[in-house]
Amino acid sequence: MQIRPFRNEDATALGRIFHRAVQATPEGEYSADQRQAWSARPIPAERYLARIQAGDHQVYVAVDTNDYPTGFVELQPDGHIDCFYRDPEHAGSGVGTALYDHLEDQARRQGITRLWVEASDAAKRFFLRQGFGVLERREIARNGVTLHNWAMEKHLR
């Protein structure tokens, strides 16, 4: 596995990874209606590209030996981790940990002193293992359905 910067040609794969990861979320964490509201279908490549190009995201992509994306994470200049998804086929393979380690290393190099995220239930457990603390549980509405996430932060020294 390798971590590299995003390339425009990754957009289709990342939209698919996002959708597959959301749909693989266990029923006990989010209902089928909630998963559908969160991601009804893969994000089209042009929409993902427009979103990345409109913002100031740094996107890091985990790729397999064939340079095919298996996960990705987005970092904004203020330390916000905007998206962090791993293809469910690669669960337990270390993709998430490798992406996070790379992101934190890049944040430190850039002088970012605080990372923060709005995490799903599953992501909350991951971020707790990385040393994040919980600030609060948040309720959000997406496509007419109420979801929740966790505001979390980690101060870098």
State the DSSP string of 81-136.
EEEEEE-GGGTTTTHHHHHHHHHHHHHHHTT--EEEEEE-HHHHHHHHHTT-EEEE
Residue 146 lies inside a defined structural domain of this protein: no
pLDDT greater than 80 at residue 14:
yes
Residue 83 lies inside a defined structural domain of this protein: yes
148 token code pair: 């929740």
Residue 154 lies inside a defined structural domain of this protein: no
Residue 95 lies inside a defined structural domain of this protein: yes
pLDDT value for 7? 95
Residue 119 lies inside a defined structural domain of this protein: no
Each residue of 88-124: pLDDT tens digit? Answer: 888 888 999 999 999 999 999 999 999 999 998 889 9
- How far is the C-alpha of 121 from the C-alpha of 28, rounded, in Å? 10
pLDDT greater than 80 at residue 155:
yes
43 token code pair: 């994000």
pLDDT greater than 90 at residue 9:
yes
Residue 130 lies inside a defined structural domain of this protein: no
Looking at the structure of the chain, the number of domains it has is 1
Q: What value does the mean pLDDT of the chain take? A: 91
Domain that holds residue 101: 2-112
Least confident of 32-41, 60-69, 90-99: 32-41
Residue 87 lies inside a defined structural domain of this protein: yes
The CATH number linked to 67 is: 3.40.630.30
Residue 155 lies inside a defined structural domain of this protein: no
pLDDT value for 133? 98
